[in-house]
Amino acid sequence: MSKMKEKGEITVRFSPQELRSLRKTARALGYSSVEEYVRSLAISVLPESYQTSARNNLSLEPIYRTNLGSVYHADALDVLATLESNSVDLIMTSPPFALLKKKDYGNADANEYVRWFAPFAREFKRILKPTGSLVIDIGGSWQKGLPVKTIYQYELLVHLVKEMGFYLAQEFFWWNPARLATPAEWVTIRRIRVKDAVNTIWWLAKTPYPKASNKRVLQPYSKSQLKLFEKGYNAGPRPSGHKISSDAFRRNNGGAIPPNLLALANTESNTAYQRYCKENNLPQHPARFPVLIPAFFIQMLTDSLDLVLDPFAGSLTTGEAAERLGRRWICIEKERVYIEGGIGRFEHESARLNRNFPTGDSYNVAPPVLKPELDNEPLPEDGGQRRTRNVETRTS
pLDDT at 40: 62
Q: Are 364 and 263 in contact (CB under 8 A)?
A: no
Residue 95 bears catalytic tag: yes
pLDDT number for residue 5: 36
| Residue 185 pLDDT | 93
For residue 327, how many other CB atoms are within 10 A of its CB? 24
- Out of 95, 119, 290, 311, the active site residue is 95
The number of C-alpha atoms within 13 Å of 53 and in the hemisphere containing its C-beta is: 5
Q: Compute the C-alpha angle 21/155/132, nearest 5°.
A: 100
Quote the pLDDT of residue 271.
86
- Strand pairing partners for 88? 128
Over the range 282-318, which residues count as b (16 or more CB within 10 Å of their CB) and which as e?
A: bebbebbbbbbbbbbbbbbbbeeebbbbbbbbbbbbb
State whether CATH 3.40.50.150 applies to domain 60-219+257-366. yes
From the centroid of its chain, how far is CA 22? 32
* Distances 257 to 90, 146, 219, 224, 236 between C-alpha atoms, Å: 22, 39, 6, 15, 24
Question: Which member of 89, 137, 306, 310 is catalytic?
Answer: 137
Q: Is 137 among the catalytic positions? A: yes
Q: For the chain, how far is it from start to end, CA to CA, in angstroms?
A: 67
Domain boundaries, the chain: 25-57, 60-219+257-366, 223-253
Cα gap 138→155, rounded to integer Å = 12
Q: Annotated catalytic residue: which of 94, 133, 141, 315? A: 94
Using alpha carbons, select from 318, 286, 281 the residue that is nearest to residue 302. Answer: 318
**Rounded to an integer, what distance in angstroms lies between the CA atom of residue 209 and that of residue 212?**
8
Q: How far, in Å, CA of 287 to CA of 96, rounded?
A: 9
Alpha helices by DSSP H, listed for the chain, are 16-28, 34-44, 48-56, 76-80, 113-127, 152-158, 184, 223-231, 272-279, 292-301, 317-324, 336-342, 344-347, 349-353, 389-394
Cα gap 262→259, rounded to integer Å: 7
DSSP calls for 31-75: -SSHHHHHHHHHHHTS-HHHHHHHHHTS----SEE-SSEEEEES-
Whether 182 and 196 have beta carbons less than 8 Å apart is answered as yes
Amino acid code (one letter) for 255: G
- pLDDT, residue 313, reads 95
pLDDT of residue 246: 61
Reported as half-sphere exposure (CB side, CA atoms, 13 A), residue 188 has a value of 8
Residue 102 contacts residue 60 (beta carbons within 8 Å): no
Digit-by-digit pLDDT tens for the chain (396 residues) are: 333 333 355 677 888 888 887 877 766 555 556 776 676 666 555 555 444 444 444 347 899 999 999 999 999 999 999 999 999 999 999 998 874 444 453 455 667 899 999 999 999 999 999 999 999 999 988 998 999 999 999 999 999 999 999 999 999 999 999 888 988 999 999 999 999 999 999 999 999 999 999 999 999 887 777 777 767 666 667 677 777 666 656 677 888 999 999 999 888 778 889 999 999 999 998 888 899 999 999 999 999 999 999 999 999 999 999 999 999 999 999 999 999 999 999 988 666 656 677 766 677 777 888 888 888 889 988 999 888 765 544 443
Active site (annotated) includes residue 396 = no
Q: Which residues pair with 13 in a beta bridge?
A: 2
pLDDT at 396: 34
pLDDT of residue 9: 59
